[in-house]
Amino acid sequence: MRAKIWDLPTRLFHWLLVLLIAGAWWTAENDALAWHYRAGFAIVALLVFRLVWGLIGSSTARFSSFVKGPGAIRAYLGGRAPASVGHNPLGALSVLALLGLLVVHVVLGLISSDEDGLDPAPLAHLVSYDLSEAAHELHEDGFNLLLVLIGIHVAAILYHGLVKRRNLLRPMVTGRGDVPAGAEPMRAVPAWRLLPAAAFALLFAWWIWSGAPPF
């Protein structure tokens, strides 16, 4: 049976994040610092939106639907997990790792400063110069770890497509896919929930852009 698996906000988040990470890398490699910061702020907004949408969004977008404990992961690896759609318990670890590393990576970038202190990031004034310089180095080195996690994510998609004959890419484009027997399709939520999630994400990114002044 084919049915809805991913809602539009989740799919837009996914593909915009792909484009913005690529854009952030390109701007860093070509010393386009102003555009690098803009890409970073856009990523901030996306991450905040995803965290909020993970609480109030559709069923497959919610963290409570796919973040499971060790028992569920063992059951999945042993082929005993109940049929479901969306992220499986093992894939959830990849999602959490990517989101967590992105949050840390963005924070390090926002407080970083170059060796001369001539181009400090928007939030560098909130920390000491030594910490800001260390954050700059960690921000650069951490991108390699991010690439490793992205590579694992892509490898998992290829494994499911080539070995398990299950296309994970198409549902993230169209929103629809094959639903295993006994599994519940995505449960949508009212469209108005998108508004507070997007508004909060944009306001938070704007607050960071303005130098994160105190409330």
User: Is the predicted pLDDT of residue 79 greater than 80, yes or no?
Assistant: no
- pLDDT single digits (tens) 39-65: 999 999 999 999 999 999 999 999 998
- What gap in Å lies between CA 176 and CA 174, rounded to an integer? 5
pLDDT, residue 115, reads 64
Two structure tokens written together for 8: 């539009």
User: Is the predicted pLDDT of residue 1 greater than 80, yes or no?
Assistant: no
- Bigger pLDDT: 56 vs 166: 56
Answering whether pTM is above 0.85, one says yes
Mean pLDDT of 100-126: 86
Say which residues have a Cβ less than 8 Å from residue 89's Cβ, sequence separation at least 6: 66, 68, 72, 73, 75, 76, 81
2-209 belongs to CATH 3.40.50.620? no
- Residue-range domain boundaries for the chain: 2-209
| Percent of the chain scoring above 90 in pLDDT | 54
- What gap in Å lies between CA 39 and CA 17, rounded to an integer? 10
Mean pLDDT of 126-152: 91
Confirm if 95 and 43 have CB atoms less than 8 A apart.
Answer: no
Q: For the purposes of burial, counting CB atoms within 10 Å of the CB of 158, is it exposed (0-12), middle (13-18) or buried (19 or more)?
A: exposed
> What one-letter code names the amino acid at 92?
A
Mean pLDDT of 185-205: 95
User: Is the predicted pLDDT of residue 215 greater than 50, yes or no?
Assistant: no
